[in-house]
Structure 1
Amino acid sequence: MRATSILLHGFRYRFVCAATSLVVAASSVVIAAPFARAQNCDREPTGTQTSDYNLAFTVPQNLMPDSRFADRSATIRVHRVSPTYARGKCPGVQNLATVLVHGRAQPGSTTFDLRAQDAAGGSLSLQEALARAGIDTFAPDLLGYGRSTRFEDGLDDPANASLPGYGPGDTCATPAAGCDKTRNANIFPLNQQARYLGDGITPPIEGLGVNPLQGELRPHKSHTYFANIDVWVRDIMQVIDDAIAKAQPRANKVVLLGYSFGGPRVARTLYRLGEQADRKVSQLVFVDSLFNRLPGQTTDVNLPTEEAQLPPVDRSTSFPLNISPTGGWDPISPGREPACAGRIPAGAPQALKQQVLELDPLGASWGGSDAELPTGVLRSPTFTLYGWNPTVAATFDQPTLILHGAEDLPAPLVNADNMFNALTSVTNKAVVKVECGSHFMPAEGCDPTRSSRCDDGIPDTIPYGQTSQVWAGPHSTAAAAVAEWVKRGTFNSKECGRFRVNASGIVNEEAPTGCPGA
């Protein structure tokens, strides 16, 4: 009797030959062609890739406050960070996509793709973290920001920065050039054309008095605020459609994320989408978002749903261009700084400034008290604020994650609970408050060389979203929370709840009031 084995269709067969019979027995399985192809792929990303591109459009009639911009050609620049798979993505791994909407002053890429590192050398970029989790991210510069269109006679003209305010009795102090009004002098300051001319007593303030206006006050070419929220709703809707076409995400839907003033923009977009919202948007994320408690106020102020319902003072801003410093970092309450030592990653403010200047060469040539050495400024548009209130929130049903720095001053923490409570038709929702997180929470760290709090010293506790016991900081928590929400619609494996992340990165669940069955 003689035995012979051969490989046939991926199986090893043993042939036993005898005088009266032929016995065929299948023994061991050998991974061959069809099975090898199935495993010669990646289920998890092996890297990321970055690309920038423009979406073109024509400004519709009656969209912008200044009708001079109607019918003009414009572009929206989109900063995309995508996952890559060295051997190709395995079949069955779903495509996921998120559109990230920036806030009042910073454009998309500087907000969500900060090129800096935490104390352990980890990236501070939210877009990179999400891409490494398998999520395609699209961060537009909305009209008037970054490398999107600003218009030569709009935000590219320094004469459209603010003039001095009206004097007593509304008597204009500089009648040759005119005077300005603003809806909020803290966010849209007056007299930015004259700053740095100074009185020789008070310290100089960032502005255009020397560069590029050389001591002149010039009349505006545009005499109103640059945009309202509906201008940017149009932008966001175009980016949503583009992201769906490019990424082909699960169910052909994207996740919308709004940071700071981007929160009201995201909410207004969902509201304006109406019946299309459920066909295009799967989930919402609000990060350090404003809702109905504005900076410096002690009571809730519910914004009207439509701009026409705003009082005249909120539509009074008479200039389109706003100027801000390029550096710095958001403060927290003075009494909390010692407890939150190490929250600002070394070099992060400088990296942010460098990115701002690289993104805007014109703004980089403005500002400062020396005409030969401009400091650079951050240019952004003025706008009205409306459309995000409890009435609007009650119309939403998308699963919603609310992330907020517990030490946030520009967007007070109470906004987070107010949003959670107002989402009365949403059963899949979570609010997460992160201790030692300022308004810059998505880019903040925890440096163990500067604070012992980064490791609570309890072996059984691990910071949320990490395998290491040393907390990388709020940026790590935020990235892990967004990734879990996009993938599974949960935070810490819960579909609904209230949570607080302590100063060592450990999650604690609070009473789940407002959740089903609570």
Structure 2
Amino acid sequence: MRTRRPRPAGPTRRPGAATGRCDRAPTGVAAEDHWLDFTVPAGLMPDARFDGRPARLQVHRVRPVYARGKCAGGPTRAAVLVHGRRVSGPAQFDVRHPAPGGGDLSLQTSLARAGIDTLAPSLLGYGLSTRFQDGLDDPGNASLRPYEADGSCTHPEGCDRTHNPVFPLDQQGSLLLTNPLGGERIAHSSSARFARTDVWVRDIRQVVDDAVARAKPTGGKVTLIGYSLGGVHVARALYAGNTMVPGAADTLRKVNRVVFMSSLFGFPTEEVTPPAGFATFPLTLNTRPSPTRLPQPRDQACTGRVVPGAADTLWDRILAQDPIGRDWGGTEPGNPTGLNRTPTFSTYGWNADVAGRLTPPTLVIHGLDDIDPAAPPTNATAIYDALPATMTNKALVHVACATHELLLEGCTGARCLPQAATVYGGRPGVPWAGPQATVKAALAEWIKSGTFNGAATGRFLVDESGVAEPVG
């Protein structure tokens, strides 16, 4: 009987390395949440009661999985996705609802299947991140009735003012009076707006550091993507002139490319107090949203734009991320309808002057039919035009039949199958699956190569059939 010699000790090899059996493309995806702990810096939040308190951020990660190991030599890519005003990162970017043409609407899943590791935080005050018991967890911190015209207040619980109509007054009376307030408005435990832009700049920078540490992207750099109000926060996080939260230079070293998607734009560079003052309450409540209706004839032309059931799935996802808000609202005691809790805040830090100082290659993508007054299609053109003339890697993309909710929008009918062209990101003869498919393809291409439709720079229109053409 032959004795087998022991194998000499040596470095552990990755699965598949010895035989060449490895996966060049992901065989699946994995999703998990983790939390980042921090202490609130003094002077950062408008209400000083939160100074020095412990807090944590929820980060929702969806990463590619390789059953036999990822083949050596290929680049590792990662992206941080920053949500907007009303919907947390996990709810906004990971909507597991059937998409036209197959798959689901989840942007994170799609990018992971393209080999991109994505991390979507819930910024402070959103989702499962810290909201503070005497902050957004307190229903008494929703708005009260307005002050009288002469500035007086005749209500024992107090009165409020607001600096922005998206933070309406007397939500205690209109939305919370039955559940959970039991018929009586109550005084605030905090009487200031919850956040300012720089609160979330601090969050973004921490998540970028976390993404580099966890995903280990090639070159130690991630792509930073801001959606809606998230575009403002991303821009401020990269602004070298930010003295309130220094550190832009370090963040810029870790960001290879930037995307502004349906971004708000046009605010003062620094925080400016309105003549009447900021909102005097920290908590705003949002009811179940309805799909956006376009003016005719656009709504009629954009067949299949609203994906059946997608809004319901999004709302379920929002409430799953808000275990307190889902027990609020409604007019029947003990039978809440659920409400989405969001912070009040001041907005600044994103305008032509700030855009003119950006240095990372930049993609600007926007729905041509976006009717949100804070984010019209002209925002995208203004951002692109303001980017430095020396920036040779920049692209502007407008998508037809896409609104502010372009991440959830599809396409059905004859318009979806162009007769003499191939849809952007698709294959010959395969119908366009709508704006959601264009966004997925555009982000994957930009993250991987810094191009759109093969071009490093230019203006483009994706038409009603999903075909991309240069403009101008």
TM-score of the pair, normalised by structure 1: 0.84
Other-structure match for 1:141: 122
CA gap 1:384/1:465 in 2 versus in 1, 3 angstroms: same
Q: Deviations over 1:313-354 (max 9, x none)?
A: 4x5111000000134223333441101121111110110111
User: Which of the pair has more CA radius of gyration?
Assistant: 1
CA distance in 2, matches of 1:132, 1:226: 37
Give the 3-state SS of the residue equivalent to 1:169 in structure 2: coil
Other-structure match for 2:464: 503
Other-structure match for 2:69: 88
CA distance in 1, matches of 2:356, 2:397: 20
CA distance in 2, matches of 1:43, 1:395: 38
Other-structure match for 2:422: 462
Q: Determine if contact 1:501/1:508 at 8 Å carries over to the other structure.
A: yes
Structure 1: state its 5+ residue gaps.
Answer: 1-33, 196-206, 293-302, 512-518
Question: Letter of the aligned partner of 2:405 in structure 1?
Answer: F
CA distance in 1, matches of 2:17, 2:333: 66
Other-structure match for 1:311: 274
Alignment partner of 1:213 is 2:213: no
Other-structure match for 1:239: 207
Q: Deviations over 1:213-259 (max 9, x none)?
A: 12211111111100001111111111000100001111101110000
CA distance in 2, matches of 1:405, 1:322: 26
Other-structure match for 2:157: 177
Other-structure match for 2:299: 337
Other-structure match for 2:170: 191
Give the 3-state SS of the residue equivalent to 1:471 in structure 2: coil
Alignment partner of 1:58 is 2:23: no
1:97-496 matched pairs, under 5 angstroms: 97-172=78-153, 174-185=154-165, 187-195=166-174, 207-271=175-239, 272=242, 273-292=247-266, 303-307=267-271, 309-313=272-276, 315-410=277-372, 411-424=375-388, 425-447=390-412, 451-456=413-418, 458=419, 460-467=420-427, 468-496=429-457
Question: Letter of the aligned partner of 2:393 in structure 1?
Answer: N
CA gap 1:36/1:377 in 2 versus in 1, 3 angstroms: closer
CA distance in 1, matches of 2:411, 2:440: 15
Q: Deviations over 1:247-276 (max 9, x none)?
A: 111110111000000000000001144322
Give the 3-state SS of the residue equivalent to 2:345 in structure 1: coil
Structure 2: state its 5+ residue gaps.
Answer: 1-14
CA gap 1:256/1:38 in 2 versus in 1, 3 angstroms: farther
Q: Determine if contact 1:323/1:380 at 8 Å carries over to the other structure.
A: yes
Post-superposition offset of 1:115: 1.3
Q: Which moved further from structure 2: 44-53 or 160-169? A: 160-169
Q: Deviations over 1:257-312 (max 9, x none)?
A: 000000000000011443224411110001100112xxxxxxxxxx22111x3433
Give the 3-state SS of the residue equivalent to 2:324 in structure 1: helix
Q: Which moved further from structure 2: 214-223 or 144-153? A: 214-223
Count of aligned residue pairs for this structure pair: 448
CA distance in 2, matches of 1:39, 1:476: 33
Post-superposition offset of 1:38: 5.7
Q: Determine if contact 1:155/1:381 at 8 Å carries over to the other structure.
A: yes
Q: Determine if contact 2:197/2:348 at 8 Å carries over to the other structure.
A: yes
